[in-house]
Structure 1
């Protein structure tokens, strides 16, 4: 407990958050969610619950003259059985849009996951404190980006000067949905995920619905996107459906149509970009499911492998090649009646030459350098000259 007279405690409310679709009041404070309660109630999958509660793209935003900021949080950290301890999640401080500092909060709860059996356990812990000092004393916009890969309950916010609402910069809101790669996978910090970098370069406000292992064309996710105000929407689809061996070719195309139909109910004219998977050699011609090779886990090495058989494509099993064919066909069919719909082959963001230079360390996820490349590529291909160029300066009416 802090008793210094200079500290001002500001109540934590949804109004201080950007990038979250919902907040939950817990016994400790405020828990941001990236899916609304109605969606969460329709699926008991623990992977989805973990992914959507990890606040990728979620940030506290406020305006203040404070030179010092303290944030108490209760993190929930992951620990994989037999693996070295994972590093603490990273918080990043932006002052007037410029990355100024970073830090972590130790302790907290620990979620233990046995990848061999799927069993989980939980050990409760205590909240910790993140502190940033030496901020300029002028009136400024401050953002604290929460760890993209660590569930974070917000407990208390203290500053040495009053806090007010962040300035409305009038930027377009970009809502992006995708898999663990969009979630942030092996990025080093929350502003280093490829969507966060692309949003910064594109001058837009990000809502990141990248859900690790959970971009599965779920109807409740489509409804969440439908009901969320946005000026620009992109959907990176396919890799998780292959990873999970979730559906066959017969089901995939109609499921994509249904997903797009639902989104268009709420956003009939918003620019909507469908992105096929990035290059992932192990699944280009080999169906799923994906499975971890746990042999090197004790040394901190984890690799994934495709467990399907290329011959199974004849029976309708999905590969990334098949997924790209289906996505391109769906978009081509719909484009005749939907001039605001576009398609991008994900290999333009990360393809064979990129894999040769920046290979996927675990055969599935890009590293931090590849995230930076993908983010820059997306900004150039989509915001500068592509589907979102010159678009989204004013929110869709109605």
Structure 2
């Protein structure tokens, strides 16, 4: 039996991580970031600061003979007044690419949010430990995918055998940017978010810049994409611009062009796919902003409603159908000079028939089963034999 003295403690460093664009050394440990320091310095929005600190798609990867693994971590999670507590964030452990175990940490910080007043309260808590045992004997590559929906400071990795950084698998790198759906909202675990499903089926290495509530054509996000090495890039654009009622049609087209121009500065010939929003009935023809349903909150249910008026489209307010038409036009016109630029209508990933079978539980985000379906569809349509990324290889 392994005793306390048999454990080998490894300080978590950046060379053990994949999927993060930056790391920050904190008082507790190592905090992965999905936006670089320069972008974070230019951001003043708390929602984006939270979203980029959630390690969606980030994983610890190492090679070891260990059969027991422990990870100390400090989580920071959100709790919403009047809404049932969300399950603890999940850590997925993969052995040689296959899901072998899952776990969570206790304790941690809690940010209590009152969506009716827009206020929040920070309640500190202790670090916790997630344990995995027994793992198979012999040398193996181990991946620990961090919770996609909790800020996670990594403190220490303990094993009963030495660890070393895993050899790079040699797979091509897929860089993806999108909204909370790409971030993984309402997925059951980090390898269950749709980009992780698509990456596994497409046999590519994922770098996920899905940023909940924050896919807003920010120039600093475009520069982060520009400066990140990638073999394939996809940009899922639209839903957050409607959610926040952030801009009008006059600004939208030039902003998309500017975003694409910046990405192309660093990736002039990389296959680049623009993806329009999946079906979301509350915003198909009704502008934002989007807000929680107050009556639903009083009943302990979280649902979202569109606060705009369809008539406001005439004044330039954006809806999902307006955005799809504009994105299709922009890509079609740019593709005349950019043969590596492609377009995918998001309703091919989740459309009316899917909504009838698997409705969005809160009228905005897909559930775990739907994440799986979207990931499978994306892999087939984009990485499959006739897909735009496959044709570019």
Structure 2 length-normalised TM: 0.98
Cα offsets for 1:110-167 (capped at 9, x unmatched): 1111111111110111101111011112110000000000110000001111101112
Count of aligned pairs? 391
- In 2, the alpha carbon distance for the partners of 1:5 and 1:178 equals 45
Map 1:222-301 to 2 at 5 A. 222-297=222-297, 300-301=300-301
Query: Aligned residue for 2:79?
Result: 79
Q: Is the 8 A contact 1:61 1:166 kept in 2?
A: yes
The alpha carbon displacement at 1:377 in A equals 0.3
The alpha carbon displacement at 1:300 in A equals 4.2
Cα offsets for 1:257-315 (capped at 9, x unmatched): 00000000000010000000000111111111001003233554211111111111010
- In 2, the alpha carbon distance for the partners of 1:162 and 1:391 equals 40
- In 2, the alpha carbon distance for the partners of 1:299 and 1:196 equals 34
- In 2, the alpha carbon distance for the partners of 1:294 and 1:145 equals 35
- In 2, the alpha carbon distance for the partners of 1:242 and 1:154 equals 35
Q: Is the 8 A contact 1:84 1:299 kept in 2?
A: no
Q: Is the 8 A contact 1:84 1:298 kept in 2?
A: no
Cα offsets for 1:184-241 (capped at 9, x unmatched): 0110000000000000000000001000000000000000000001110000000000
- In 2, the alpha carbon distance for the partners of 1:391 and 1:280 equals 31
Map 1:55-70 to 2 at 5 A. 55-70=55-70
Range moving further from structure 2, 323-332 or 300-309: 300-309
Partner of 1:220, secondary structure, is helix
- In 1, the alpha carbon distance for the partners of 2:300 and 2:66 equals 41
- In 1, the alpha carbon distance for the partners of 2:162 and 2:43 equals 41
Cα offsets for 1:343-382 (capped at 9, x unmatched): 0000000000000000011111111111010000000000
Query: Aligned residue for 2:382?
Result: 382
Q: Is the 8 A contact 2:11 2:155 kept in 1?
A: no
Partner of 2:106, secondary structure, is coil
Query: Aligned residue for 2:328?
Result: 328
- In 1, the alpha carbon distance for the partners of 2:13 and 2:277 equals 36
Query: Aligned residue for 1:129?
Result: 129
Range moving further from structure 2, 51-60 or 75-84: 75-84
Cα offsets for 1:7-57 (capped at 9, x unmatched): 111121111000000100000000001001110111111100111101100
Query: Aligned residue for 1:113?
Result: 113
Q: Is the 8 A contact 1:226 1:267 kept in 2?
A: yes
Partner of 2:50, secondary structure, is helix
- In 1, the alpha carbon distance for the partners of 2:143 and 2:98 equals 9
Q: Is the 8 A contact 1:349 1:378 kept in 2?
A: yes
- In 1, the alpha carbon distance for the partners of 2:86 and 2:359 equals 22
Mark the CA change 1:215 to 1:150 in structure 2 (over 3 Å): closer, same or farther. Answer: same
Map 1:37-56 to 2 at 5 A. 37-56=37-56
- In 2, the alpha carbon distance for the partners of 1:306 and 1:390 equals 39
Partner of 1:5, secondary structure, is helix
- In 1, the alpha carbon distance for the partners of 2:370 and 2:298 equals 25
- After superposition, the CA RMSD in angstroms is 1.1
Q: Is the 8 A contact 1:279 1:351 kept in 2?
A: yes
Which stretches in structure 1 are left out of the alignment for 5+ residues? 393-398
Q: Is the 8 A contact 1:238 1:323 kept in 2?
A: yes
- In 2, the alpha carbon distance for the partners of 1:126 and 1:108 equals 5
Structure 1 length-normalised TM: 0.97
Map 1:8-27 to 2 at 5 A. 8-27=8-27
Query: Aligned residue for 2:4?
Result: 4
Partner of 2:241, secondary structure, is helix
Mark the CA change 1:60 to 1:227 in structure 2 (over 3 Å): closer, same or farther. Answer: same
Query: Aligned residue for 1:177?
Result: 177
Map 1:307-322 to 2 at 5 A. 307-322=307-322
The alpha carbon displacement at 1:84 in A equals 2.4
